[in-house]
Amino acid sequence: MLFSVLFGLLVYLLPYGLGLTILPQNSQNEIESRDVLEGLVTWDKHSMIIRGERIFIFSGEFHPWRLPSPGLWLDIFQKIKALGFNAVTFYTYWGLVEGTPGQVRFDGVFALDEFFKAAAEAGIYLIARPGPYINAETALGGFPGWTARIKAPLRGDDPEFVDATEIYAATVGKLIADAQITNGGPVIMLQPENEYDTWPGVNNTDFPAQGNRNYMEHVKQQMKKVGNVVPQMVNDHLYQGNWAPGSGLGETELYGIDAYPMRYDCAHPDVWPKIRWPENWQIMHQKHSPNTPFFIAEFQGGSGTGFGSVNADACNALVNQESVRVLWKNNYSFAIKIFNIYMTYGGTNWGNLGYRGGDSSYDYGAAIKENRHIWREKYSEEKLEANFFKVSPAYLTAVPGNASNGSYVSTDQIATTPVFGTESSTNFYIIRHADWTSINTTTYKFNVPTSIGNISIPQLGGELVLTRRDSKIHVTDYDVGGVNLIYSTAEIFTWARDTSGKRTLILYGGADEVHEFAIDLTNLTRVSAETKFNDKNVKIQKIHSNTLVVQWKVSTERRILNLSDDLEVLLLWRNDAFNYWVAELPAEAPVANYSSPSKSTVVVKGPYLVRTAAIVEETLRLTGDINRTVDIELIYEPTGKVKALSFNDETLQGSLNGDGKLTARLDFQAPEITLPNFATLEWKYIDSLPETQISYDDSAWVTCDIPSTNNPQSLLTPTSLYASDYGFHSGSLIYRGHFTANGEESTLFVNLTGGNDFGYSIWLDDTFITSWDGSGQGGGDHTHNDTISLPSQALENGKSHIFTLVIDHMGQDEEAPGTDAIKAPMGIINFDLAGHSQSDVTWKLTGNLGGESYHDLERGPRNEGAMFAERQGYHQPSPPSQNWEISNPIVDGIKSSGIGFFTTTFDLDVPAGYDVPLNFVFGNSSSTTTTSNYRCQLFVNGWQFGKYVANLGPQTAFPVPEGILNHNGKNTVALTLWSLDDDGAKLDGFSLEPEMPLWSGYRKPWSSPQPAWQEREGAY
């Protein structure tokens, strides 16, 4: 479907006109919106209330357009749901759907219907963030490329910019409105703009200027006009209260903040920065938005990398499970009730959609990897914490105290922050090192008031311990289904109560730690002080008349304590707890698969992943993944009737183990997969830089003859040479400079911009002159100046000559360090040819064929660049290669400077039931004697899924998701091989390699659109 001018005119523009229309802040529409939401989405100062139930909104960020295989979106949602999260926050990317001004295309992989459908099936609520600006490490911050050439400043109230947003806002706003909870959909919240307080000219000492308030109010009303009634929120990056309720024009209903305290130095993952440590946020929240829940709209869940840096595994090591324990638990000490993790699944910067500082991967070190595997320890730590809050309703109305060193503990080396229950007697105490970066081991006693008086814990001797970068949540007077857990120093994973009244409580701790908990026996029946393990590491003692104290030293051995007929306690080593899963059972509509505090759950141990659970008669039916032969153990189910297990529709032979738990063996057998050997396949080759040939005709190219620019960077040349002024916004750029020699051309000076780590090559006629490999003196240069000596013998006086200049476009910047600096031009900024005025040289330019009138509507406006093979569409399946050369990029390569295009096909047949991520892997040039100065683009079935820069790295493995890659069928792979050296280049290796295979309950995805080559009208 094509949402464009018709929809915008009929539904949006005619009723309201163009330009800014500021509606009254307390309009009748807003009153009616709250009426419509009543009973569905409400809130107070404590928490969100969904369908009448208080709920901790635990959200993971996931951008569907970074996984352009819609059939896999359910897989990601299920993995986020398995974490214990109940929501996903997502951006939409204006620049991908309105590459042509006035034509908004939410179709194919860019459609949102399947995204909303998959979220609902998984039971995930959605928080929509349509922009128009998203940042998100995207080119131009998510704006379409053509916005770089409008005169008006971006993100201001100038009508030229505001009018430019209208059709997109109307279209995406209507799609979101149709998917709201009020219409039976998953959307419960909306963000009308992103981090607006950090945009230059917006943040003032007191409050943003009137024009900024007008703009913020306008984007709010854009969403309301097309039917959005869910609460609107803001993420204030500066924590100054901008746009908070009551702050004035532009205010939103919910006020959120965002923070990235671990920063981005993935090269030194063990070094934790001491700046930006979150503290006293509860005071800030009370100041700015005391009547709404404390909301962290973005919190660092990983970190990003770029060319010449380190791989994503180093970012995961920086923002690892220790940082999750310390930073997230510190956040809980502020009594946050809405918490979004950026990113939880990152994905890929395919098709040139990333900004100038990133590479092809957007793995981000997130809990779910780019290849959809999970980072086990980090993912599992997040799972432990999220599941705790699902069973801790007292936290939802709790209020924070103040952090202090030495309070509640016996040493000032440890800081404690209490969170006090208001509607129950439960208190939460967050324990961490006073120096949050400390790697010390510190012992302490916990001194705390409880319902049995002020006590010092442990009561049965010894001390508690905090090891390295760790943090703990100690609880007092915690309700376990009507039984009072007087205190616990061990952390709670989950608890549940079955229909007979029996409670199962799961506690865990770190290896060799001593932990202690106390139970009030008043509401228990047939209390027993016996354990199944006669073990000196477990102490049980009854104190007072109704208090049972249990102390144990954590080991790898699980202990199950049946303390009474109606209380079972599992004591686990934290790493063993990682293997436990809490799965919600489906409920009647409208709750269905969405999370609800009143829903029943099951607890299962063993698999790599549990996706769904359902009890059908006497069988617990599970879906999930395994990566090895494993015993599945049913720890808890609510009915008491389950006698059998099935997994992915396979009936399992079950039996009771020594702990009385139903178990079954699930066998795993690795699949046999035949993968191509690219070194022996037949590849077809064509020169992809014919522009250096003397006979090449560039008459169809754009002539750079625009005498001025709207760009804030003034021209240094007689006419604009900025690529964006001619509609070319992504991929590579090629310039051809025509001049007539006069015998004085000794040098050529160029000032070029292409984004961080860009490269370029220059030819004079058919003679290679020089290249820039992008390394820079300090690396990461986004501009480069060079004065190039020209061969005098190549220039004949009075004869016409041509410079051919190829520039690698790495993507525009994502934010503006100065007013509108995000529009910084790409391409030729300045030049000087010795012996000539600038007007003596006539420049022609090409980028992707058609520029903003791009040809490949299925793969979007940024998938292609200027290279000849791309302009012709040869990177797509079935190019007209019958008469091309046979040449292999690994064995033969290209023999001189220039760009070669190689394509081949291969078949795959991955066995049914297996999820096997596959990576295209380039050889490591540092270990060979071949040149390392080459750049390579990877196309898979027409989709650009990797940019490999051999001399910079670090990325050598490029995951391509199933759906783009056909796991059962024919595939076309194409490469552009650009040698920046005169002696050519060949790949140092190229292979398709499997990641860990999973026998999986995922739903096999359908293929994303893969239109084959067709001759393109006007191709040159």
- Residues marked as catalytic: 195, 298
Handedness of CA 429, 434, 437, 440 (dihedral sign): negative
Compute the distance between CA of residue 936 and CA of residue 741 in angstroms, rounded to an integer: 34
R_g over Cα of the chain: 31
3-class DSSP state for residue 415? strand
Centre a 10 Å sphere on the Cβ of residue 892 and count the other Cβ atoms it contains.
17
Q: Give dist(CA 953, CA 326) in Å, integer.
A: 32
Pair 554, 515: CB distance under 8 Å: yes
CB atoms within 10 A of CB 361: 26
- Do residues 566 and 501 touch, judged by C-beta distance below 8 A? yes
How far apart CA 959 and CA 963 sit, in angstroms, is 12
Residue 684's CB: how many other CB atoms inside 10 A?
A: 20
Q: How far apart are CA 62 and CA 80, in angstroms?
A: 9
Q: What angle do CA 589, 171, 821 make, to 5 degrees?
A: 120
Backbone torsions φ then ψ of 32, nearest 5 degrees:
-65, -35
3-state SS, 118-129, equals: HHHHHCCEEEEE
Alpha-carbon span 925 to 767, nearest angstrom:
27
Assigned token pair, 339: 């918490």
User: Helices (H) and strands (E) in the chain — how many of each?
Assistant: 15, 59
Q: How many CB atoms lie within 10 A of CB 354?
A: 29
CA distance 302 to 289: 28
Distance between CA atoms of residues 516 and 488, nearest Å: 6
Contact 206, 243 (CB under 8 A): no
User: By C-alpha distance, which of 910, 904, 905 is closest to 968?
Assistant: 910
Q: Who contacts 622 (Cβ-Cβ below 8 Å, separation ≥6)?
A: 583, 604, 607, 610, 611, 612, 613, 632, 645, 646, 647, 648, 1001
Amino acid in position 950: A
Residue 427 CA to residue 539 CA, distance in Å, equals 25
Say if residues 480 and 493 touch (Cβ distance below 8 Å). no
Neighbouring residues of 390: CB distance < 8 A, sequence distance ≥ 6: 56, 84, 86, 494, 582, 595, 597
HEC string for 247-275: CCCCCCCEEEEEECCCCCCCCCCCCCCCC
Answer left, alpha or beta for residue 501, where phi above 0 means left and psi between -120 and 50 means alpha: left
Report how far residue 70's alpha carbon sits from residue 561's, in angstroms, rounded to the nearest whole number: 46
Backbone dihedral angles phi then psi of residue 34, each to the nearest 5 degrees = -65, -35
- 433 backbone dihedrals φ, ψ, rounded to 5°: -65, 145
- 947 Cα distance to chain centroid: 19
Look at residues 301, 275, 178, 199 and name the one whose alpha carbon lies nearest to residue 242: 199
- Other Cβ atoms less than 10 A from the Cβ of 986: the count is 23
Question: With contact defined as beta carbons under 8 Å apart, do 771 and 865 qualify?
Answer: no
